[in-house]
Amino acid sequence: MKQNFAIVGLGRFGGSICRTLIESGQEVLAIDNNEDRVNEYMNIATHAVVANAQDEMTLRSLGIRNFDHVIVAIGEDIQASILVTLMVKEMGVPSVVAKAQNSYHARVLEKIGADRVVHPERDMGIRIAHNLVSKNILDYLELSDDFSLVEIRVANPKFFNKSLLELNFRQRFGLTVVAIRRSNGEVVVSPDANEFVRENDNLLVIGETDDVDVLDEKMNM
């Protein structure tokens, strides 16, 4: 379903959201107070405007209240990020995603009603660190303090050519396999217990981070 998005701030973060949304066929209004940035997105976004989003009248005249999603991608100017988030929530936008610079900023954004607060630099740092310390963990997404979703390479021959049932995966590791990525690129989503694990497969597993660490150790044995 086509939804409409407004992005405030066309830095690297806001800009990449804009490009990806457009590529997936969505309508995007791109806003920045820097004319050069707006010119860069003139032929990419559905509409691109030079505007100071801290100005309430400007936001109203852009019809921000009618958007399904607003992404507040202002980084350095924390005051602007907070004010814009507050105003768009007050205007009744149902889904507001705000980028936080640090944990204090994140707490304020949550308090004033941001529906989702993201920390792209911190999260990417965590993902890369996990990938560096384990040669089998290819990707890592922290879902909460205790839970994560990881993509892990099947490196231990004891796992090869066995079904999830034979491996007793859920009981043994306390983890759920949400998908298997085969070496030919095929992805088996929500595999049933009889699905086989093969050499060079990657497993996408979800569960407690401690259990993921145990699985990672097992892969190295």
- Write out the residues near ligand ATP by the rule CB under 6 A: 8-14, 31-34, 37, 52-54, 73-77, 80
Q: In whole angstroms, how close is the CB of 81 to ligand ATP at the nearest point?
A: 8
Q: In whole angstroms, how close is the CB of 141 to ligand ATP at the nearest point?
A: 20
Would you say 105 or 181 has its CB closer to ligand ATP? 105
Q: In whole angstroms, how close is the CB of 84 to ligand ATP at the nearest point?
A: 7
**Which single residue is written with the structure tokens 């860069």?**
40
Q: Where are the alpha helices (DSSP H) in 153-202?
A: 164-167, 169-173
- Residue 198 CB neighbour total at 10 angstroms: 14
Look up residue 152 and give its two tokens: 């892990």
Cβ atoms of 195 and 164 within 8 Å: the answer is: yes
C-alpha closest to that of 197 among 220, 180, 172: 180
Q: In whole angstroms, how close is the CB of 130 to ligand ATP at the nearest point?
A: 22
Would you say 31 or 96 has its CB closer to ligand ATP? 31
Would you say 11 or 113 has its CB closer to ligand ATP? 11
- Residue showing the smallest CB distance to ligand ATP in the complex: 75
- Residue 156 CB neighbour total at 10 angstroms: 15
